[in-house]
Amino acid sequence: MDTNKTMAPDYPDHLWRPLTQHSPLRGASVPIMKSAEGCTITAANGSRILDGLAGLWCVNVGYGRREIAEVARRQMEQLNYLAPIMSCEPTIQLADKLQELLGFPCHSYFSASGSEANEAAFKIARQYHLQSGKPGEHRYKIISRYRAYHGNTLGAMAATGQAERRTGSEPAAPGFLHVMPPYPYRAHPKLTPEEHGEECARLLEEAIIHEGANTVAAFIMEPLMSGGGVIVPPDNYIPLVRQICDRHGVLLIFDEVVSGFGRLGTMFGYERWKEQADIFTFAKGLASGYAPIAATVVKEHVFEGFTGAQDSMRHLRQINTFGGHPVSSAVALEAISIVEREKLADNARDVGNYLRACLAEQIGEHPYVGDIRGLGMITGVELVSDRGTKAPLGDPVVMKILGACLADGVLLGRNANTVPGRCNVVLIAPPLIVTRNEVDRIVATLAKALKGAI
Ligand SMILES: Cc1ncc(COP(=O)(O)O)c(C=O)c1O
């Protein structure tokens, strides 16, 4: 191998892009994005894209907020970095703010990404049981759900239930297993939504019993499964999961990396089902994409499991260099205050309902549209080649539809690399500030693309 050879001179640049096959980029020029404001990204050539995905469903307050930039500048001048074992005001204030918003006593451990927040949650769950569990227990297993995405680090990827996403990085970290999530659109037709919710909860309980409850540390789930295809659980599922976890001494982790900070039409996803987890993870909307920051928030009974004598080795043995970064913390505080001031969770709920009503009206009868679902400002449109059999629409057609939307200036996504042959859910999750006019444009563009795909 000639390691001195200059790297790939025929590619447009030396950037290795995520989730991207680079071969088609050989000799191609790549559009460069230059700036953004509100829900719109502007390319270097002046063309404008309506971002129907809020980046990676994270820019909740929209692009170009000067008040956040000002907070970041001030914090950088004052204290640009602090080792996280030391304390500074923005980070303490952010932890206090999370407790105020969540409404129960809790402690927050900060890191820089959703994957890290989930890794921390898994380690916290394991160490908690080691220190607080009953004699004879060795609780280390983490149960998660098929289709779910929990991140790209080895533990978070092991919890991820997406076969395509894991291919190539396996074998996965040991100690993780999966159960089926509720999936109302594809549930057995004879089951009512409640019966389906009950059945899926029962599958979780069976998994815990069959694994041996004394080996299971935690169950992780998103309140609404986002990247797995926008799957809203039946109303009884989450309360039943809470009961099962309590019955078997299993910690419940809510991954609110996507659902936190207004996206589901409530400040947090769990509010809708009125059930709390023992551990919550937040990232994307925490600072609305203006700075990398994530939080693993534990309720007090979990935190207490880590207290003890100075030399007891009960402290959390975990640190992230950029955890609780002063600038990211200050930025997060400002982003959260915008969500509150501008009542963006309410806007997400109202305009999200409007979006789904428009979709139902304009594309609901299209032969490729199997299901339109979502909550707040997160919507999935499941595409099928046959509405009777619900056979998923093939990848090339789904890609053609998304390509046509982008050509018309609207960026939408899909549940990429989820289950082989089932990456057929179009994802719509614009910033929470999106207007009805912008929603009209998203719906009209998708309707036109669907028409052209027949
Ligand atoms: C539900 C969920 N959890 C965790 C993650 C991982 O977050 P990050 O990409 O910041 O590591 C994601 C990312 O999309 C996510 O959607």
Shared-domain flag, residues 273 and 208: yes
CATH number where 206 lies = 3.40.640.10
Quick one: 379 and 316 in the same domain? Answer: no
Do 233 and 264 sit in the same domain of this protein? yes
| Residues 418, 314 share a domain | no
Residue 10 lies in a domain: no
- Quick one: 386 and 260 in the same domain? no
Predicted local distance difference test score (pLDDT) of residue 316 = 96
Residue where a domain stops, chosen among 341, 364, 389? 341
Q: What is the mean pLDDT of residues 259-280?
A: 97
Residues 199 and 239 in one domain: yes
Token digits of residue 96: 């206090």
Task: Check residue 8 and give its pLDDT.
Answer: 57
Contact predicate 153/115, CB 8 Å: yes
Q: How far does the centroid of ligand 1 lie from the alpha carbon of residue 151, in Å?
A: 5
Range of the domain at 391: 23-61+343-453
Tell me, in angstroms, the distance from the centre of ligand 1 to residue 237's CA: 22
Least Cα distance to 270 among 230, 303, 234, 239 occurs for 239
Residues 356 and 284 in one domain: no
| pTM for the structure as a whole | 0.97
C-alpha 64 – ligand 1 centre gap (Å): 23
Spatial CA neighbour of 383 closest among 424, 429, 443, 442: 424
Question: Which residue from 57, 116, 149 has its CB within 8 A of the most atoms of ligand 1, so it is best to mutate?
Answer: 149
Report the nearest atom of ligand 1 relative to the CA of 114.
7
Bridge partners for 379 per DSSP: 374, 428
Instruction: Specify the ligand 1 atom closest to the Cα of 294.
Output: 10
Q: How far is CA 408 from CA 47, 220, 337, 441, 447, in A?
A: 10, 38, 34, 10, 12
pLDDT for 10: 85
What mean pLDDT value characterizes the chain?
A: 96
Q: Does residue 9 fall inside a structural domain?
A: no
Residue with more model confidence, 168 or 241 = 241
Instruction: Tell whether 291 and 356 lie within a shared domain.
Output: no
Q: Report the number of distinct structural domains present in the chain.
A: 2
The yes-or-no verdict on residue 42 having pLDDT over 70 is yes
Ligand 1 atom index nearest CA of 113: 10
- Given a cut of 80, whether residue 206 has pLDDT beyond it is yes
Q: Which sign, positive or negative, has the C-alpha torsion 106, 108, 113, 117?
A: negative
The pLDDT score that the predictor gives to residue 133 is 83
Residues 241 and 257 in one domain: yes
Ligand 1 contacts (CB < 6 A) are 56, 113-115, 118, 149-151, 222, 226-227, 255, 257-258, 283
436 is a domain residue: yes
pLDDT at 302 over 70: yes
Using the mean position of ligand 1's atoms as its centre, give its distance from the Cα of residue 321 in Å. 19
Distance 147 CA to ligand 1 centre (A): 13
Q: What is the pLDDT of residues 71-103, one digit of tens each?
A: 999 999 999 999 999 999 999 999 999 999 999
Q: What is the pLDDT of residues 153-186, one digit of tens each?
A: 999 999 999 999 988 889 999 999 999 999 999 9
Point out the ligand 1 atom lying closest to the alpha carbon of residue 153.
11
362-386 pLDDT, tens digit per residue, is 999 999 999 999 999 999 999 999 9
**pLDDT tens-digit series, residues 245-257:** 999 999 999 999 9
Q: Do 325 and 350 fall into the same domain? A: no
Q: Which atom of ligand 1 is found nearest the CA of 56?
A: 14
Q: Which residues of 147-172 are buried (b: 16+ CB within 10 A; e: fewer)?
A: bbbbbebebbbbbbbbeebbeeeeee
Residue of 258, 270, 280, 427 best suited for mutating to test ligand 1, as the one with most atoms within 8 Å of CB:
258
- Residue 5 confidence (pLDDT) above 70: no
Q: In the prediction, which pLDDT does 136 show?
A: 86
